[in-house]
């Protein structure tokens, strides 16, 4: 039986050492970074999924930013309309008082002046702005939506009736405004029209109960329109919850794709170090052995 010996072991030894060194470097990198995928060549399919996850997480961040802005805007609008309800409730109260037949002209005139003051309060509320944009001007957000004639309380709307929407998440959008004409000049109950009628009725002492009814109708209409903002805030909260959970899921998936198990990485490093050191020692011994030529000489 013949035995074949490799007369030149050096190339194979060097290749083996190189491979062991590469395994050692890989294990060291995984342990130091906490990732089992540190370059495209480590796992191309995992890297491709990771890129997709990062794109989705970036979209989610933008959606959450949109939601934060519109949520604050809706809160300001809803709070403003709450104050409008308070003003109209006061107008109903003093209007009912003004309809009392025992009042004299001076009393009714005093009440009419209070109505004028309420109309000016409503003007300030209807012209509310958030971060430099008027909330109730439709899409004409740089134009002050309402101007009031201080003598007659006649109102002029300078905005438009347009609406816009904001995307809360993929396939989920929400309208982000109600035009001032719909809120304050609605045919079902005009806020400014009702106050103007009440002011005129108190001054002339005619049709005061009818004017009070107009204010009550305006109050009901504002409450109806205000539901838009309440529903919108609920929708935003639900969408925020969904996106926050999706980001958690994406992070978990990313860790599953590229995260290294510390115990496994430490074990791999230990094994790689042992193999590398063993091969270096074996190579050193082999290189120091005398050749067959030495024995023949």
Q: What are phi and psi of 290, to 5 degrees?
A: -70, 145
Predicted pLDDT at 219: 97
Position 188 scores a pLDDT of: 93
Q: Report how many domains make up the chain.
A: 1
Specify the CATH number for the domain of residue 82: 1.20.1330.10
Give the per-residue pLDDT at 87: 98
Query: Does residue 197 lie within any of the structural domains?
Result: yes
Instruction: Kindly report whether the global pTM for this prediction surpasses the value 0.75.
Output: no
Q: Residue 52: its pLDDT value, please?
A: 74
Write out the chain in H/E/C secondary structure.
CCCCCCCCCHHHHHHHHHHHHHHHHHHHHHHHHCECCCCHHHCHHHHHHHHHHHHHHHHHHHHHHHHHHHHHHHHHHHHHHHHHHHHHHHHHHHHHHHCCCCCCHHHHHHHHHHHHHHHHHHHHHHCCEECCEECCCCCCCCCCCEEECCCCCCEEECCCCCCCEEEEECCEEEECCCCHHHHHEECCEEHHHHHHHHHHHHHHCCCHHHHHHHHHHHHHHHHHHHHHHHHHHHHHHHHHHHHHHHHHHHHHHHHHHHECCHHHHHHHHHHHHHHHHHHHHHHHHHHHCCCHHHHHC
Are residues 115 and 158 in contact, defined by beta-carbon separation less than 8 angstroms?
Answer: no
- Domain-embedded: residue 157: yes
Residue 25 forms part of a structural domain: no
Query: Radius of gyration of the chain from Cα atoms?
Result: 39
Q: Is residue 18 part of a domain?
A: no
118, part of any domain: yes
- What residues have CB less than 8 Å from 241, skipping those under 6 apart? none
Provide the residue range defining the domain that includes 182.
Answer: 57-247
Residue 185 maps to a domain: yes
- 134 located within any domain: yes
Cα–Cα distance, 89 to 208 (Å, whole number): 16
Q: Is residue 80 part of a domain?
A: yes
Report the chain (297 residues): mean pLDDT per 10 consecutive residues: 52 61 60 57 66 75 83 95 97 95 92 97 97 96 96 96 88 89 96 97 95 97 95 90 80 63 61 64 63 47
């Amino acid at each position: 039986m013949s035995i074949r010996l490799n007369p030149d072991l050096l190339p194979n030894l060097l290749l083996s050492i190189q491979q062991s060194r590469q395994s050692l470097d890989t294990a060291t990198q995984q342990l130091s970074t906490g990732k089992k995928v540190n370059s495209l060549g480590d796992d191309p399919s995992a890297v491709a999924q990771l890129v997709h996850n990062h794109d989705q997480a970036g979209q989610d961040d933008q959606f959450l930013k949109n939601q934060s802005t519109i949520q604050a805007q809706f809160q300001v609008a809803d709070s403003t309309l709450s104050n409008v309800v308070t003003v109209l409730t006061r107008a109903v109260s003093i209007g009912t008082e003004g309809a009392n037949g025992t009042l004299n002209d001076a009393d009714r005139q005093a009440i009419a002046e209070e109505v004028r003051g309420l109309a000016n309060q409503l003007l300030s509320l209807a012209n509310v702005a958030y971060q430099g944009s008027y909330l109730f001007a439709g899409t004409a957000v740089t134009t002050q939506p309402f101007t009031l004639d201080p003598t007659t309380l006649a109102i002029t709307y300078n905005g438009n009736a347009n609406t816009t929407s904001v995307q809360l998440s993929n396939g989920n959008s929400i309208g982000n405004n109600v035009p001032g004409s719909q809120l304050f000049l609605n045919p079902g109950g005009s806020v400014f029209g009702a106050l103007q009628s009440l002011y005129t009725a108190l001054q002339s002492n005619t049709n005061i109960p009818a004017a009070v009814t107009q204010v009550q109708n305006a109050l009901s209409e504002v409450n109806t329109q205000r539901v838009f903002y309440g529903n919108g805030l609920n929708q935003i909260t639900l969408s925020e919850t969904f996106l926050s959970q999706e980001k958690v899921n994406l992070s978990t998936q990313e860790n599953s794709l590229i995260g290294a198990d510390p115990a496994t990485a430490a074990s791999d490093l230990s094994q790689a170090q042992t193999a590398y050191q063993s091969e270096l020692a074996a190579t050193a011994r082999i290189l120091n052995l005398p050749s067959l030529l030495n024995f023949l000489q």
